[in-house]
Structure 1
Amino acid sequence: MPKRDFLEFHAVDAAVIDHLIDRAITLATLWTERRMPQSLTGRRVGLISDDTGWRNMTAFDLGIQAMGGLCTHAPVHLGQREATADLAGYLQNWFDLLVIRTRELYNLKALAASAVIPIINARTSSNHPCETLGDLAYIKQQRGSLEGLKVCGIAPDANILRSWVEASLILPIEVVQVYPRLWHVRDPALANANFRVSEDMDEIRDADVILTDSWPQEREAADLAAYRVSAAQLDRAKSDVVFLPCPPVERGEEVSDDALLHPAYKSLEAKAFLLHAQNALVEWVLEER
């Protein structure tokens, strides 16, 4: 059977995503009850991070151990001293799975092409599929369904928004990027009927989910002030809207302080599902077939 990589959200079937989301919801209950299945017993996972950030790699480490697996952090840097094919050969001598957080998606794809063991993308500068998978699991747990979901991404063309656009390629959801034209997603590989761009903040009025990401480094603050999410903006949205600003939040830039006190703010609850979704993903990738 072919190995199961998870490099881009849309590189797996919608049925697989549905399974992972439902399994994540089940694992969330088992986690709360401290009854985690030992389905990773005997499995050896290498954790590699040559990028900043801590949430999802910590969750991978904790989740793998809680499900009976063995994991270790390997101080590997892709695309530097050692050839990618050589790295793949050495690492697959020891591990059943590699979970990698790195900057360049093409380095991750090159490693996956050389390795006989599966690779999970823990984050790149191009996409962040595990983050989106966790958010979707939380949303489905709250709503009961993802059918017809409208997601407003008040964010530039960057990894968080891109993973939601990847999801729109295979799931029955609508994703709208609301941002100045300069930072619109224009990648033809992501174009699809479920994704569109806009500059109109009125799009949030009927959104089910509102997400944000950091402002671009090169910008004039006045140009983006209209796209700052505040409590007043959230009051214009649906009463059950879910507001998911991407951590770390830059208060006073993409998000105002009062927005984080609004009842719609659910990042703390949603990010708990990052652990559960990643547990489901590792379990599926290593599933005996």
Structure 2
Amino acid sequence: MALGDLDGSDILGMLMRAQELAACWQAREMPQTLAGQRIALVVDDGGWRNTTAFDLGARSMGGLCVHAPLRLNATEAVEDLAAYLDNWFDAVVCRTPELEILYALSHWAQAPVVNARTRQNHPCETLGDLAFLWHRRGAIEGLKIAVVAPAANILGSWIEVAQVLPIDVVQVYPARWHAPGASPRFRVATDLGELQDYQITAALLDGLRPDLDFLPCPPVTRGDEVSADAMRHRACRVVQAKAFLLHAQNAALEWVFAAP
């Protein structure tokens, strides 16, 4: 349910496998490692990128993915929903607002449950970005990730992964929106003078280190928190990074089913 729940070696294994699956995708030679697996895709709060990637990825590797239009924490008890899903599916990929509800589904279901996003964390988004950074740099050890965002799901997963991988995460935002509980690999900062009233611009990016990768998390509004010229800046690699969302999630599905 959270990257901090996993061993660092498991996450590293997924990131390495994502590199192989990226090559398979480009060659249109995806391994059929999910053949025969039946996966429920439960989308309880909108969004399209990572759920579409789960659907496409599962099918491309031989699995059967079905959209189940149910809502958690509504009229049916989670334990009942879990039992009904277990009748038909080998795994459940679920995107829902509350992490605690997802933990409840995982507790009651016999099938493994994959967290496709909550308000508290977004492990798939972080896995995808890490897989891209591995592709770009050949490793992730020693990375410093600056998250310009309030305490919410994107920051939540970066904090989680900093608990188990050798990367450093700093939240750069006004103090009233800081995440609680700083740790050895996570800290907060309020020095925002160079961030020009919290908008990322091309001029700001020009003043940062030349090997910077700028990965604004979709959806972003051009001209609001990110300027239009920043989206066109040489350091902006968000499109390439989001390509690796598919590969990282495919690697995660393989890991769930203990596939090679």
Per the normalisation by structure 2, the TM-score is 0.97
Aligned to 2:208: 237
Question: Which of 18, 42, 45 is 2:39 aligned to?
Answer: 45
Deviation at 1:248, TM superposition (A): 1.1
* Root-mean-square deviation (Å): 1.4
Identity in percent: 54
1:274 and 1:136 map into 2 onto residues whose CA distance is 9
Aligned to 1:76: 70
Q: Helix, strand or coil for the counterpart of 1:241? A: coil
Aligned to 1:218: none
- Tell me, yes or no, if structure 1 residue 102 matches structure 2 residue 93: no
Q: Which runs of 5+ in 2 are unaligned?
A: none
2:259 and 2:231 map into 1 onto residues whose CA distance is 43
Question: Which of 41, 60, 64 is 1:66 aligned to?
Answer: 60
Aligned to 1:283: 254
Change (3 A) 1:247 1:288: closer
1:206-285 correspondence runs (5 A): 226-285=197-256
Q: Helix, strand or coil for the counterpart of 1:172? A: coil
Q: Helix, strand or coil for the counterpart of 2:168? A: strand
Change (3 A) 1:288 1:244: closer
- Paired residues of 2:24 and 2:30 also in contact (CA < 8 A): yes
1:283 and 1:233 map into 2 onto residues whose CA distance is 40
Question: How big is each residue's C-alpha offset from its partner over 1:84-104, in whole Å with a ceiling of 9 and x where there is no partner?
Answer: 111111100100000000000
Q: Which runs of 5+ in 1 are unaligned?
A: 1-6, 205-224
Aligned to 1:123: 117
Deviation at 1:201, TM superposition (A): 3.5
Q: Structure 1: which amino acid aligns with 2:257?
A: L
Deviation at 1:202, TM superposition (A): 7.0
Q: Structure 2: which amino acid aligns with 1:199?
A: T
Aligned to 1:210: none
Q: Helix, strand or coil for the counterpart of 2:215? A: strand
Question: How big is each residue's C-alpha offset from its partner over 1:195-223, in whole Å with a ceiling of 9 and x where there is no partner?
Answer: 0000114799xxxxxxxxxxxxxxxxxxx
